[in-house]
Amino acid sequence: MTHLILIRHGQSVWNLEKRFTGWVDVDLTSIGKLEACKAGERIKELNIKLDYFYSSFQLRAINTLKLIKNTLRNKNEIIKAWELNERHYGNLTGLNKDEMKKKIGEKKILEFRRSWDIRPEPLNKTSPYHPLNIKIYENIPKKNIPNTESLEDTYNRVVPYYKKEIESKLSDQKSILISAHGNSIRALCKYLFKLDNKKISNLEIPTGNPLMIQLDQKYKIKNCKYLIKERARDLIIF
């Protein structure tokens, strides 16, 4: 039996401000840091050996993972992959979700946030929020940097990376922790739990709450649960 733990970063500054964040690199709030520390404590209680630690390129995911590793007293390196980044929200990036609900309607915002294959309009490449203008992405090939994404687009970068870099390690009975984002984890859950397009639209990932998945040697999921019960979302996968 091996373990795969997925965690969405703790509350970020733009989560608190209810802004569409996407590929913009914002840090954790004080609450987000506490969420990460508590997540580390719950993972420590499992008393399992974690062999690999992955995060996106984004500060909120990296710092969440650092705080968890500090709690675990683990010195393994963090493997950072842009493929695990949050979904790019196009021209919604930086805008307030409540204000946009008033402007274009709650139904349209829900469509942008939860649909499988609908993208917002592209973000202008001159925007300071565009990944082309954010330093951490300067070494990513420009062809791989999106202007906007649907959940399907996010899936199409997250899952190939997972299959290539992570799945084989699980088959070798290595346990892995991935710190990422609401939509990149939703994309991965769609693959892991074989969710259809309707079910994935209903899957909500809470911040700072580790989702512990036990797998057998054939990648079959034997058990799955959130480690912080009082902040768990209903799992729709079983």
- Where on the phi/psi map is residue 207: left (φ > 0), alpha (ψ -120 to 50), or beta? beta
Q: Is 9 a catalytic residue?
A: yes
Run of H or E residues at 104:
helix 97-104
HSE toward the beta carbon, residue 194, CA cutoff 13 A: 4
Q: What percent helix, strand, coil does the chain show, rounded to 5?
A: 45, 15, 40
Joined together, the tokens standing for residue 112 give 């942008």
Q: Which two tokens stand for residue 8?
A: 């969405």
Catalytic site residue from 3, 35, 83, 86: 86
Q: Which of 3, 9, 130, 181 is catalytic?
A: 9
Give DSSP secondary structure letters for 73-100: T--PPEEE-GGGSPPP-GGGTT-BHHHH
Residues tagged active-site: 9, 86
